[in-house]
């Protein structure tokens, strides 16, 4: 481990773009598979490691769906959520806004109230036992269309769990225009939630404009194609609209063809508030610490530069002012004490 890697490993961090099911590590999947012996997912650690080795995007979808198939009751949801927080604690992630897709579970027959109770129960336990603060972004799986949008907005606005802070939109962008989701985002915003759709990951800058205009996005998930439109970059910088950048995910999904050509440098140079995230970490063979190391290499950062990126995530988060000040102070104290 390099000196900078050690710095990153111990650095207190916040993560803003990471998916619930997509965070299921082989260890967690083995636990879930053991609860459901009829599942085709292997429980043997070696076979599971092989199953998890990222091959291509189609294989990622296969792994993702087989994990979705293991989330069958509220106890599975609770176990997954708490164990994801345990993996976060090991990386010194103090705060995470976890993107949760309630529709995937309610459609499979888990009652909405039981689902919400399970994640809230795990959230409270994670905070007191692991020191990880979790908040939720309920997202619409875009490929499932307006029925999923309606169900997600209904659960978000009617049940509105204490940990819920934002409303999102994920899934494929091609063939799933953003403007059609406007009424659902309007409802979520009226209920006091923040708007954080994915946009511009696999499509051009117009999708990001659509997310800003129609969905009133306050942060952009990915926003990879923003650098193709100088006016858009200037707009994001001027209005302090952060980008949730996930470098390894972008390479895995071919949103970028080569990590060295990732547009993160142009984003930073344009003055955009850039945050570093892991998206679906075990499925893309990464974790948040690895993503910080990638960003440090691409942006040629030392420990102080990495700490500044970590503080960007705190600033871009939906923590209250007291929480932001506390985590920023923790990052500063860690950096000041660092003898790398
Ligand atoms: Zn994502």
pLDDT in tens, 292-333: 999 999 999 999 999 999 999 999 999 999 999 999 999 999
Pick left, alpha or beta for residue 73 (phi over 0 → left; psi -120 to 50 → alpha; otherwise beta): beta
Chain Cα centroid distance, residue 317: 12
Pick left, alpha or beta for residue 240 (phi over 0 → left; psi -120 to 50 → alpha; otherwise beta): left
Q: Using the 8-state DSSP alphabet, how is residue 271 labeled? A: T
What pLDDT is attached to residue 49? 83
Q: Which helix (H) or strand (E) holds 13?
A: strand 13-19
Residue 59 has pLDDT above 90, yes or no: no
What pLDDT is attached to residue 40? 84
273 Cβ partners below 8 Å, 6+ apart?
236, 237, 240, 241, 242, 243, 312, 315, 316
Can you give the residue range of the structural domain that contains 158? Answer: 3-337
Instruction: Indicate the SS3 state at residue 19.
Output: strand
Task: Give the mean pLDDT of the chain.
Answer: 95
Distance 339 CA to ligand 1 centre (A): 35
User: Active-site residues: which are they?
Assistant: 201
pLDDT tens-digit series, residues 127-140: 999 999 999 999 99
**Structural domain count of the chain:** 1
Distance 18 CA to ligand 1 centre (A): 6
- As a whole number of angstroms, the distance between CA 76 and CA 277 comes to 25
Distance 224 CA to ligand 1 centre (A): 12
Beta strands across the sheet bearing 194-195: 13-19, 93-100, 133-141, 164-170, 194-195
CATH number of 130's domain: 3.20.20.140
* End-to-end Cα separation, the chain, in angstroms: 12
Residue 47 has pLDDT above 90, yes or no: no
Q: How confident is the model at residue 220 (pLDDT cuts 50, 70, 90)?
A: very high
Q: What is the largest CA-CA distance in the chain?
A: 54
pLDDT tens-digit series, residues 143-173: 999 999 999 999 999 999 999 999 999 988 9
Q: How confident is the model at residue 53 (pLDDT cuts 50, 70, 90)?
A: confident
39 Cβ partners below 8 Å, 6+ apart?
33, 66, 69, 70
Distance 279 CA to ligand 1 centre (A): 5
Distance 12 CA to ligand 1 centre (A): 22
Alpha carbon distances (Å) from 19 to 16, 98, 191, 200, 338:
10, 6, 23, 18, 31
Q: Is 79 exposed, middle or buried (0-12, 13-18, 19+ CB in 10 A)?
A: buried
Distance 47 CA to ligand 1 centre (A): 27
With pLDDT > 70 as the criterion, what percentage of the chain qualifies? 100
pTM of the model: 0.96
Convert 74-134 into a string of H (helix), E (strand) and C (coil). HHHHHHHHHHHHHHHHHCCEEEEEEEECHHHHHCCCCCHHHHHHHHHHHHHHHHHHHCCEE
User: CB-hemisphere CA count at 13 Å for 107?
Assistant: 15
pLDDT tens-digit series, residues 66-108: 899 999 999 999 999 999 999 999 999 999 999 999 999 999 9
Distance 143 CA to ligand 1 centre (A): 14
Distance 100 CA to ligand 1 centre (A): 10
Residue 48 has pLDDT above 90, yes or no: no
What pLDDT is attached to residue 81? 98
Distance 281 CA to ligand 1 centre (A): 10
Distance 101 CA to ligand 1 centre (A): 11
- As a whole number of angstroms, the distance between CA 153 and CA 145 comes to 13
Residue 6 has pLDDT above 90, yes or no: yes
């Amino acid at each position: 481990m390099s000196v900078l890697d050690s710095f990153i490993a111990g650095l207190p961090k916040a993560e803003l773009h990471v998916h619930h099911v997509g965070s299921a590590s082989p260890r967690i999947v083995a636990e879930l598979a053991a609860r459901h012996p009829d599942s085709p997912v292997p429980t043997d650690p070696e076979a599971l490691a092989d199953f998890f080795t990222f091959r291509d995007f189609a294989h990622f979808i296969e792994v993702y769906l087989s994990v979705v198939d293991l989330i069958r009751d509220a106890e599975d949801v609770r176990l997954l959520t708490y164990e994801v927080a345990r993996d976060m604690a090991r990386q010194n992630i103090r705060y995470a806004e976890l993107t949760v897709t309630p529709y995937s579970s309610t459609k499979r027959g888990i009652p909405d109230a039981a689902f919400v109770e399970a994640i809230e129960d795990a959230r409270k336990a994670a905070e007191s036992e692991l020191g990880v603060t979790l908040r939720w972004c309920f997202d619409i799986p875009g490929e499932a269309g307006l029925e999923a949008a309606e169900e997600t907005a209904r659960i978000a606005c009617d049940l509105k769990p204490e940990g819920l802070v934002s409303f999102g939109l994920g899934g494929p962008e091609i063939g799933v225009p953003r403007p059609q989701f406007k009424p659902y985002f309007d409802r979520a915003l009226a209920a006091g939630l923040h708007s954080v759709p994915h946009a511009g990951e696999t499509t051009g800058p117009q999708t990001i404009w659509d997310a800003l205009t129609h969905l009133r996005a306050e942060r952009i998930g990915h926003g990879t194609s923003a650098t193709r439109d100088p006016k858009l970059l200037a707009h994001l910088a001027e209005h302090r609209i952060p980008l949730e950048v996930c470098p390894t995910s972008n390479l895995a999904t071919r949103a970028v063809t080569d990590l060295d050509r990732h547009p993160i440098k142009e984003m930073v140079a344009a003055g955009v508030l850039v945050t570093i995230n892991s998206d679906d970490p075990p499925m893309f063979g990464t974790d948040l610490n690895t993503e910080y190391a990638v960003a440090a290499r691409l942006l040629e950062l030392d420990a102080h530069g990495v700490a500044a990126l970590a503080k960007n995530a705190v600033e871009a988060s939906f923590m209250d002012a007291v929480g932001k000040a506390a985590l920023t102070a923790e990052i500063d104290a860690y950096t000041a004490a660092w003898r790398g």
